[in-house]
Structure formats: C-alpha cells, structure tokens
Structure 1
Amino acid sequence: MSESKLTKKVIGDALMDFCEEKSFTKISIQDLTKKVGLNRQTFYYHFSDKHDLLRWVYFEHSLCYLKSENLSLENWEEQALKMLKAMKEKSTFYLNTVTADPEILMNEFSEITQELFISLFNQMDEEKQLSEKDKYFYARFFSYGCSGVLTNWILEGYQESPLEIATQLFRLAQDIEFFSYRLYSQNET
C-alpha cells in the first residue's frame, strides 16, 4: 500500500472510530489529526474537508463493491450483499454519518448505481429504441430510488437483512430487464 493511501486509511479509520463515540457533526479536523498524530496540513494534503474524507471512507469501506471492475449484472446481487454487510458491520458509523448528512451517501451511491443502470439499459436496448437522454433519465430515476431505500434502511435501524435488500435490488434490475423485453416484443407485433 502506498504511503499516501496508508495515511488516508489511518485518517479514515480514526473517523470511523470517532463516529462510534460521538456525532459526526461534533468531530473536528483537529480531533482527527490529534488522534492519529498528524498535523492539519497533512490532513488537507489528502482531503479538502471532513466531508471529502467521509466520501472517501464510504467508497473504500463499502461502495467499492459496486465499482469493481469485475461487476456485472450476473454478480450484482453478490456485490451489493458485500456492500450491505460492510455497512451493517459498522452500523453505528453509518447511522451516525447518514443522520448528520444523508446527502453524501445518497449522492455517492446514486452516482455509482446510475452507471450500473445505464449499463443495464445499454445491454437491454438491442433494438436501439431508447435515446441516450431516456437511458440517462431512467438510470437517474432508479438510482435515486435505490439510494433512498439504502438511506432509509440505515436510518430505520437496519430492519431488513443485507440479503433481503440485496435480493430486492437485484430483482429490480431483473424486472426492468423482463418488462423492457416484453415492451419491445409488444411493439414489434
């Protein structure tokens, strides 16, 4: 691991630890740098502020499973399950940070899932009936819905298991594929 990545990880781990004890809003850059024995300048070399750090932690800890180079529609459920298990494992951290600012996780998750939905629409649209504008709109619509489900799951105390949520997300992708094929076949007759 490079020195820069190691430094980021140390700072990120400190944030996760602090979020087990106190509110994200109450954690300062000074708290983080003091805990890990770095100066503020080192922190700002790696992150613009604590929200930037939080985005990085979200990606490195859980969202990375959906950004994997090996991700496909066939293993989407498995990768989503890994992400959700990672989130539930650090449930206090995610609840604390999402309570403080739900937009950060929603935006990061939406950006990643939007790319996945566009890929799904590109695979399904063999007849080239959808415009790029339509694909983008549908992908945004579904990704925002999925991010709402994710943040709601966290804020309501993880009532469903990670497997239940991952299965529902996968079924959504399958249903989109199924109904789009039905729609295309109806248009051809």
Structure 2
Amino acid sequence: MADSNTTKHALAAALKELMEEKPFSKINIADICAKCSMNRKSFYYHFKDKYDLVNWIFDTEFMEDIENGKYDPNAWKFHRDLCNYFYENRNFYRKAMKIRGQNSFSEHFRERCIPMFICVLENLVDEPGINEIQLNFFADAFLLSIERWILSKDCVQPDEFIEAMKSCIRIAHKIHVDDL
C-alpha cells in the first residue's frame, strides 16, 4: 500500500511539474512516466488516463480530508477551505479547470461537491427534499463562480472572494421574486 501511494504521488508530482512547463493537452503518459522514471505499465496500473490522475490529485489533497472529518461541515468554512486550497495551488488548477470534455476536472469537481450542496441546501430550505433544478441552480452558481475566480488573471485573495459571494447572496435574499 505504501509503495502504491508513493508511486501515485510521484506520478502526481511529475504531472504538476509538466503542467508548469506546457499545456495539459500537450502532455502525454510517456512524458509523465519519463519525468518520474517509471514505465507506462506502472502508470496504467494506478490510473485510467491523465484525467484520472488530475482528479486523484484533488481527491487526495483536498476531498480526502473532507471525508476524514478534518474540515468543518459549515458551508462557509468548506467554501473558505476550498478557496484557500485552490488559491494556494492556482497555477495547477488554472490549467486543470480549462480541461474540457469527458473526465474533465470541472465535471469531477462538480460530482465531488454535489453531496455537500445537498447537505447544505437541506439544512437551509424548509421544504422537504431538494429537487434537481434547485440543486443544479446553486451548484452551478457556486462552481462556475469559483472557476471564473481562479481563472481570472487578477485573482483576488480567497477571503475577498468569499465576502463578495456572501454579498451576492445577501442581495439575492433581498430580491422579492414576485416583483421580478
């Protein structure tokens, strides 16, 4: 097990280094393996493809801590921790969030965050159950805002971004839907 994790972390470090040098689309499995002196067989023993490796990096560096209870389940605390993590690793995630298509990081990020959104919304809404439209509305707003923020050239500090998000929610709360 320790060897497996050592191999995975070596492959992850190699991919991160390569993503500093060139676009993700120009990186292939041979490049990753050469960077950490491994063979393709080792790579494919642990990962389906380079997209799987990107997703594994997020899961082990951030989501694993969530699942192990190291982060407060409070929605704003989770948001702050997530934004701090992305900001600290913004060079990597700026490139990861630009990956499109099947197995993209953006899709994986969404899938991993959906259970948190369900939990938060169920605690906030007085109605029983959250329907798919409500879930997608809030998930899209949250996820696309984070993506736009981290991709911006002049990415503000995480606390400033979170305060701006809170301000948006306060404004939305003041709007009476029937008046629109």
TM-score for both structures, normalised by structure 1? 0.75
Query: What is the CA-CA distance between 1:42 and the residue it aligns to?
Result: 0.7
One-letter amino acid of the structure 2 residue matched with residue 33 of structure 1: C
Task: Give me the identity figure in percent.
Answer: 24
Query: What is the CA-CA distance between 1:63 and the residue it aligns to?
Result: 4.6
One-letter amino acid of the structure 2 residue matched with residue 27 of structure 1: I
1:71 aligns with 2:72: yes
Query: Which of 155, 161, 164 is the matching residue for 1:159?
Result: 155
Distance 1:96 1:64 in 2: 22
CA contact (8 A) 2:99 2:105 kept: no
Partner in structure 2 of residue 43 of structure 1 = 43
Query: What is the CA-CA distance between 1:32 and the residue it aligns to?
Result: 0.7
TM-score for both structures, normalised by structure 2? 0.78
Q: Could you say what secondary structure the match of 1:99 adopts?
A: coil
1:82 aligns with 2:105: no
1:19 aligns with 2:19: yes
Distance 2:40 2:147 in 1: 31
CA contact (8 A) 2:97 2:105 kept: yes
Matches within 5 A, 1:92-107: 92-101=91-100, 104-107=104-107
User: Which digits, 9 at most, give the CA deviation of each residue in 1:90-117, with x for residues without a partner?
Assistant: 3222222323438823222322332122
One-letter amino acid of the structure 2 residue matched with residue 106 of structure 1: S
One-letter amino acid of the structure 2 residue matched with residue 138 of structure 1: Q
User: Alpha carbons of 1:87 and 1:148: their partners in 2 closer, same or farther (altered >3 Å)?
Assistant: same
One-letter amino acid of the structure 2 residue matched with residue 13 of structure 1: A
One-letter amino acid of the structure 2 residue matched with residue 92 of structure 1: N
Partner in structure 2 of residue 185 of structure 1 = none
Distance 1:158 1:170 in 2: 20
Q: Could you say what secondary structure the match of 2:97 adopts?
A: helix
Unaligned runs of 5+ in 2: 175-180
CA contact (8 A) 2:20 2:91 kept: yes
Q: Which stretch has the larger CA shift, 161-170 or 7-16?
A: 161-170
Number of equivalenced pairs: 174
- What RMSD, in angstroms, separates the aligned Cα atoms of the two structures? 3.1
More helix by share: 1
User: Alpha carbons of 1:88 and 1:123: their partners in 2 closer, same or farther (altered >3 Å)?
Assistant: closer
**Relative CO higher for 1 or 2, CA cutoff 8 Å, sep ≥ 6?**
1
Q: Could you say what secondary structure the match of 2:98 adopts?
A: helix
